[in-house]
């Protein structure tokens, strides 16, 4: 090696394979799923069988009689350790175990601790709970009405988000948050508009179905601390929330993760961690709680939503006014729903330059399982509405759908509806790439007979959640080798490799020489969480700064050294010592005005995703076959192009499932299809013949090497693209997802004047 060479351009921008690929193909990679500790007990949850009711009595005697059972933990036991057992990122509303009442089917009521999982499972079924049922409400619009049965006596904002403080003590309502945005004068603009379009769109509840079901192992220490091994996307949050619940300083709680078998937003905040921690402290033994796939359906879902959208359009096809009222079905506990409501809600004007905008968003409690974050944080529900309506407007006015979007595009330098001037968002480039990938200007075969073909597009936007903080450390060890310490969780998105590439680029070494240390709150510094496509931008900046700091220290302490190894020897007089570079990143931000929702600085970056679809519709069966699906993202700059492309094609297929068939079916709050046997996710045979993930690059001024996040971008637009293609093929207009053959066939028959009988 010659002199230290920090020349740029060798690591960032390369399609490197992931660092852990070898361990993932030979089966040795670490998941918390695999962890077993000496003396460990297995916890199994007994869950509520009713959607809403008071707990009259819990009889644990039969469960305790099962051989191998160590204890049955209920809310009374929890209260001995945690007098106020309510947790949550936005509201302190979710009890560690049901306390006094249950609010959804599947709510944890008791945990059986046993020597082995078989005994725990058998005994959990033998816990007998007597309930006094209460009236339940499931629909988000009905639950928001003044006469609806109320789930929570009063609202208890968590305090982490200061803009929720005013809700404290609010009573007799299921509306956890009403978030509004007012820009211009929509009423006046509607009165002056040439055309006004008004629709209501709905999306049902779907589930993440991460293949490694949630799992937590809590390990108490004799000295009075606790280690929590957990498949979590937010180890830093778990530490602070567990500490708060226990009344301990954060330095007594250690939270560590491994690789996650998928996350998609399901494994955020507190899921099993509080329950496992309390059980372990009560039992004074390690406790493992691992869900089965079916239990995940009762743990966290995506929000179902009802979106009422009204848009005014001028004679020339420009949208002048938009009013959107959205009811978000948050289920029984708020989880991060109020953030979904506000942070996604304000994007309902889409990537369009609309002068007059009024948005109202309601986070609503219902007696269904809690809803939280699922890849896109509410964006796809809104894009479903505004991009379906965009095609109705375009076709009604005789404007090509692509041209309609170009005509209304929100361009850099123009204010978004929030008042924030847009920077680094390339609507035209994304639409151009989409047009090219779809061969939009070429003739299109529309099919014959009972097979009709159509094509459609959509484009959606998200503002990255703000403000959040990431911190990172880059260590140079005594032998000159390097490790990145950061709390970003690699759940399959490839963040380890991306962070290593960024550090390697700065340090002038090969990416494969960088080790990424997995989140461990005793070791890795704070990160808000791995969510919302924020890691590449926020943690990427922190890692870049940490690497720059380490590099500067090396240059100062050993000028002229020809390698890190030599530099350490020169400084420490032997092959020893450590250099620690530190970096943190938190974007600037301006809180929205509480009355108008306006802010001059609402987000550090805009995520933009377009999609195009070609479909074949069988008009006799209602079955849609997607033959081509294209995702186009504006990514700033791709740190690892292959990784970006995989995020886009993977997201396309996940959203294809949500669009065509995935839907949790409820009956009185009970999920009728809570298993992969009944809840169909996309398989090999559902993949379109042509599947393309592609991106445009225009380096973002504040992103690390120009990069923006991309994990969610591919989720935004496939649904309206597919539904618009159905509309193009058949002329039928569907308002509700998913587009099941039954819904499609009913709509086709209705349009043809031969409606099917109701089932």
Half-sphere exposure of 654 (CA within 13 A, CB side): 25
Q: Is 293 in the site for another protein (CB under 8 A)?
A: yes
Per CB under 8 A, the list member of 33, 42, 256, 310 interacting with another protein is 33
Contacts of 360 (CB under 8 A, 6+ apart): 178, 179, 180, 324, 325, 326
Q: How far apart are CA 144 and CA 326, in angstroms?
A: 11
User: CA 500, 502, 507, 509 torsion: positive or negative?
Assistant: positive
Q: Is 494 in the site for another protein (CB under 8 A)?
A: yes
- Token pair for 322: 């938009």
CB of 625 to another protein, least distance (A): 14
CB of 211 to another protein, least distance (A): 4
Q: Is 370 in the site for another protein (CB under 8 A)?
A: no
107 is catalytic: no
Per CB under 8 A, the list member of 134, 557, 570, 676 interacting with another protein is 676
C-beta of residue 299 within 8 angstroms of C-beta of residue 369: yes
Q: Is 68 in the site for another protein (CB under 8 A)?
A: no
Per CB under 8 A, the list member of 9, 27, 169, 449 interacting with another protein is 27
Q: Is 573 in the site for another protein (CB under 8 A)?
A: no
Binding mask 156-195 for another protein (x = CB under 8 A): ----------------------------------------
Catalytic choice (712, 742, 750, 757): 712
C-beta of residue 283 within 8 angstroms of C-beta of residue 41: yes
- Token pair for 530: 């791995």
Q: Is 250 in the site for another protein (CB under 8 A)?
A: no
Taking CA atoms, 565 is separated from 579, 582, 617, in Å, by 12, 20, 64
With contacts defined by CB under 8 A, name the span among 134-142, 245-253, 279-287, 670-678 that binds another protein.
Answer: 670-678
Per CB under 8 A, the list member of 7, 222, 223, 685 interacting with another protein is 685
Q: How far apart are CA 387 and CA 668, in angstroms?
A: 32
Q: How far apart are CA 481 and CA 503, in angstroms?
A: 12
C-alpha distance across the termini of the chain, in Å: 75
With contacts defined by CB under 8 A, name the span among 73-81, 403-411, 488-496, 661-669 that binds another protein.
Answer: 488-496
Smallest CA-to-CA distance from 82 within 95, 71, 72, 92 is with 95
With contacts defined by CB under 8 A, name the span among 162-170, 427-435, 558-566, 669-677 that binds another protein.
Answer: 669-677
Q: Is 460 helix (H, G, I), strand (E, B) or coil?
A: strand
Smallest CA-to-CA distance from 382 within 554, 199, 599 is with 199
Q: How far apart are CA 568 and CA 557, in angstroms?
A: 9
Smallest CA-to-CA distance from 734 within 366, 356, 199 is with 199
Binding mask 437-476 for another protein (x = CB under 8 A): ----------------------------------------
Q: How far apart are CA 522 and CA 545, in angstroms?
A: 21
Q: Is 675 in the site for another protein (CB under 8 A)?
A: yes
CB of 490 to another protein, least distance (A): 8
CB of 716 to another protein, least distance (A): 16
Q: Is 650 in the site for another protein (CB under 8 A)?
A: yes
C-beta of residue 516 within 8 angstroms of C-beta of residue 524: no
Per CB under 8 A, the list member of 6, 31, 131, 582 interacting with another protein is 31
Per CB under 8 A, the list member of 17, 184, 317, 478 interacting with another protein is 17
Per CB under 8 A, the list member of 653, 721, 722, 734 interacting with another protein is 653
Q: Is 492 in the site for another protein (CB under 8 A)?
A: yes
Active site residues: 712
Interacting residues toward another protein by CB under 8 A? 17-18, 20-22, 24-29, 31, 33-34, 36, 118, 208-213, 259-264, 292-294, 491-494, 642-643, 646, 649-654, 675-677, 681-685, 687, 691, 693
């Amino acid at each position: 090696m010659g002199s230290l060479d920090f020349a740029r351009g060798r690591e960032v921008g390369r399609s490197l394979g992931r660092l852990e690929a070898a361990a993932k193909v030979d089966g040795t990679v670490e998941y918390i799923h695999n962890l077993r500790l000496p003396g460990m007990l297995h916890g199994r949850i007994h869950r509520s069988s009713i959607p809403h009711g008071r707990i009259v009595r819990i009889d644990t005697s039969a469960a305790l009689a099962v051989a191998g059972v160590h204890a049955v933990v209920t809310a009374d036991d929890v209260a001995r350790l945690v007098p106020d057992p309510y947790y949550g990122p936005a509201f302190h509303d979710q009890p560690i175990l049901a306390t006094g009442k249950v609010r959804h089917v599947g709510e944890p009521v008791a945990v059986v601790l046993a020597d082995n999982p078989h005994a725990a499972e058998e005994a959990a079924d033998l816990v007998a709970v007597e309930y006094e049922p209460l009236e339940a409400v499931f629909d988000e619009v009905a639950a928001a009405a003044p006469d609806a049965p109320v789930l929570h006596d009063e609202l208890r904002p968590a305090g982490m988000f200061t803009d929720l403080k005013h809700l404290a003590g609010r009573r007799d309502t299921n509306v956890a948050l009403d978030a509004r945005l007012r820009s211009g004068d929509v009423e006046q603009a509607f009165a002056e508009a040439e055309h006004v379009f008004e629709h209501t769109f709905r999306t049902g509840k779907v589930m993440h179905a991460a293949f490694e079901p949630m799992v937590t192992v809590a390990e108490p220490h004799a000295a009075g601390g606790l280690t929590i091994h957990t498949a979590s996307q937010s180890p830093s949050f778990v530490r602070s929330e567990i500490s708060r619940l226990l009344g301990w300083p954060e330095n007594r709680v250690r939270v560590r993760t491994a690789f996650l078998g998928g996350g998609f937003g399901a494994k955020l905040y507190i899921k099993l961690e509080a329950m496992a921690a309390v059980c372990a402290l009560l039992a004074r033994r390690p406790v493992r709680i691992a869900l089965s796939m079916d239990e995940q359906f009762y743990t966290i879902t995506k929000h179902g939503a009802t979106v009422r959208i009204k848009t005014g359009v001028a004679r020339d096809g420009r949208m002048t006014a938009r009013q959107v009222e959205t009811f978000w079905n948050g289920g029984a506990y708020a989880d991060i729903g109020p953030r979904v409501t506000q942070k996604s809600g304000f994007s309902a004007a889409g990537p369009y330059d609309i002068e007059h905008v009024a948005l109202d968003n309601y986070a609503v409690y219902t007696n269904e399982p809690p809803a939280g974050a699922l890849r896109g944080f509410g964006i796809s529900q809104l894009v479903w509405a505004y991009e379906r309506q965009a095609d109705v407007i375009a076709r009604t006015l005789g404007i090509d759908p692509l041209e309609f979007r170009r005509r209304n595009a929100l361009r850099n330098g123009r204010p978004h509806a929030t008042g924030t001037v847009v920077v680094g968002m390339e609507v035209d480039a994304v639409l151009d790439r989409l047009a090219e990938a779809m061969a939009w200007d070429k003739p299109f075969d529309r099919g014959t007979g009972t097979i009709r073909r159509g094509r459609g597009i959509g484009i959606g936007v998200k503002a990255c959640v703000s403000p959040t903080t990431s911190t990172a450390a880059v260590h140079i060890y005594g032998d000159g080798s390097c490790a990145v310490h950061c709390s970003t969780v690699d759940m399959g998105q490839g963040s380890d490799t991306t962070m290593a590439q960024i550090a390697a680029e700065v340090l002038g070494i090969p990416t494969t020489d960088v080790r990424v240390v997995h989140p461990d709150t005793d070791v890795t510094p704070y990160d808000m969480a791995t969510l919302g496509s924020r890691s590449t931008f926020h943690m990427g900046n922190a890692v870049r700064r940490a690497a720059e700091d380490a590099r500067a220290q090396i240059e100062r302490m050993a000028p002229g050294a020809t390698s890190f190894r030599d530099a350490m020897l020169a400084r420490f007089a032997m092959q020893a010592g450590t250099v620690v570079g530190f970096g943190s990143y938190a974007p600037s931000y301006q809180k929205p005005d509480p009355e108008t929702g306006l802010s001059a600085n609402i987000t550090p970056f805009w995520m933009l995703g377009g999609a195009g679809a070609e479909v074949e519709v069988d008009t006799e069966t209602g079955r849609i076959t997607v033959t081509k699906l294209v995702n186009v993202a504006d990514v700033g700059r791709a740190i690892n192009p292959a990784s970006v492309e995989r995020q886009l094609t993977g997201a396309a297929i996940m959203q294809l499932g949500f669009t065509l068939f995935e839907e949790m079916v409820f009956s009185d709050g009970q999920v009728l299809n809570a298993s992969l046997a009944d809840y169909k996710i996309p398989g090999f045979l559902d993949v379109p013949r042509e599947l393309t993930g592609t991106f445009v690059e225009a380096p973002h001024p504040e992103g690390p090497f120009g990069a923006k996040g991309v994990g969610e971008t591919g989720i935004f637009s496939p649904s309206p693209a597919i539904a618009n293609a159905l509309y193009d093929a058949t002329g039928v207009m569907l308002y509700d997802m998913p587009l099941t053959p039954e819904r499609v066939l009913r709509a086709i028959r209705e349009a043809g004047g031969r409606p099917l009988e109701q089932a």
